[in-house]
Amino acid sequence: MLDFLEIFQRVFKKESVSSKKVAKERLRLVLVHDRTSMSPQVLEFLKEDLIKVISKYMDIDTEGLEVNFSKEDDSIALVASIPVIKVKRLSTS
């Protein structure tokens, strides 16, 4: 439910984000994909390296691993989803 303050703000403040901002954000995101997809193997190398490093600490489902770019507020984030099968017991033997 909207409270009074929110309604007030919606009516009297700038009601929408400027379309120029939206355009810029969309472009930045789409270009990250365009630019990296020019060399798709780079993302693949990144995945392989990730698997190597993380496998030292836990068993992961390498098939289900996903690495992608996503937009977070006003920055681009690299988001990795890595299904964990089993965390290894650290042993120093």
User: Which residue in 1, 4, 18, 52 binds another protein (CB under 8 A)?
Assistant: 18
CB of 33 to another protein, least distance (A): 10
Picking from 93, 82, 92, the residue whose alpha carbon sits closest to that of residue 59 is: 82
Total residues interacting with another protein, rule: CB under 8 A? 14
CB of 48 to another protein, least distance (A): 24
Q: CA-CA distances (angstroms) from residue 75 to 14, 29, 38, 40, 71?
A: 23, 9, 21, 22, 6
User: Which residue in 8, 9, 35, 51 binds another protein (CB under 8 A)?
Assistant: 35
Picking from 67, 69, 73, the residue whose alpha carbon sits closest to that of residue 25 is: 73
Q: Does 24 bind another protein (CB under 8 A)?
A: yes
Helix 40-55 and helix 19-37: axis angle, to 10°?
80
Judged by the rule CB under 8 A, the positions of this chain that interact with another protein are 18-21, 23-24, 26-28, 30-31, 34-35, 38
